Structure 1
């Protein structure tokens, strides 16, 4: 595989709301957290953490998002405990210098400053980790493909609350998007991307 240069590590939604005891608990998070922490520690100045920011109330969103947050009212900011939307402590210690970008939807590129930030930093490759494989990671990865970024997914640094969804997406990345998306292990990533 080609070496990695001009890259940013996009760590998607590793927030307290998805951690153990959170409203959207993702059981695998504890397993991948040490791996993601190792990546963030190595590339602190090239890491961007994203946060999925829920509305204060369901009425603050339109269309299907309103229906979604009516069902998940306990995930709205009016009902959440303080700090629920923060990056988990094991990773937040890397910011700064790592950046935090907030987003209102699944894709990290929708309604956020991420695309402009990456262009300003002359990023050509995004290295993706985080939660959830089959929701926000999927939307962000497809957004990055659409924008023409080289996309490298660290397969042992992803988590989901659905084994079926995770496995289906990993198969799809390998078979349907193999010309635009690369799957690597953390060990392979460290061989390919030397800290600058």
Structure 2
């Protein structure tokens, strides 16, 4: 595996913190609960709290009821009918309570698919803030984080994955994706601890 750490140097003023889908929907008591969610919250809170005005939280929004959704998403919500909005209720899509206090100034971006890039709003934000680096936390490493990372790579952003602030519901695919990120995208993706990010993001 490639070397860990900020191998391309300190983080500049044009960084943003992209926190992926840290919502109640993925917490205890819900069908899609991430076992690691509570464990990764403290480093995510530390990064968001240090730069709330440079933090953007994405939220995954399910369809209202089964039978909705385009193409394969329709089949997806027939399989996962218990996580439609009529089943889980509107509070489920809210950010985790520990993170809501950072908004504002942190921004919330809603999405209806895995990637936050499809609607163009994130592109506008990146251009307006002159972003050159995305520090990425949240979940899942192998689903929505994957879509977020690849979109950032395609846009030429330096991507820093915070290793102790990422979670998945499956250890094996989390590990596989971390290996993929660092071995196949080593010029574009770095992996660093939250402590190192905080120490090098002024």
Say which of 44, 59, 64 aligns to 1:36. 44
- Alpha-carbon separation, structure 2, partners of 1:22 and 1:171: 29
**Count of paired positions:** 194
Q: CA RMSD in A?
A: 1.1
Cα-to-partner distance string for 1:60-103 (whole Å, 9 max, x where unaligned)? 31111110011101111121123000000000110011000001
Q: Distance in 1 between matches of 2:159 and 2:66?
A: 33
Secondary structure of residue in 1 paired with 2:92: coil
- Show structure 1 runs of 5+ residues with no match: none
Per-residue Cα deviation, 1:141-177 (whole angstroms, up to 9, x for no partner): 0011011111111111000000001000111111111
**CA–CA distance in 1 between the matches of 2:133 and 2:150?**
13
Contact 1:126 1:149 (C-alpha < 8 Å) held by counterparts? yes
Mean Cα deviation higher: 31-40 or 108-117: 108-117
Deviation at 1:112, TM superposition (A): 5.2
Partner SS for 1:50: strand
1:3 pairs with one of 6, 10, 17? 10
* TM-score, length basis structure 2: 0.93
Q: Name 1:57's counterpart in structure 2.
A: 65
Runs of 4+ in 1 over 3 A off after TM superposition: none
TM-score (norm 1): 0.96
Identify which of structures 1 and 2 has the higher relative contact order when contacts are C-alpha pairs closer than 8 Å and 6+ apart: 2
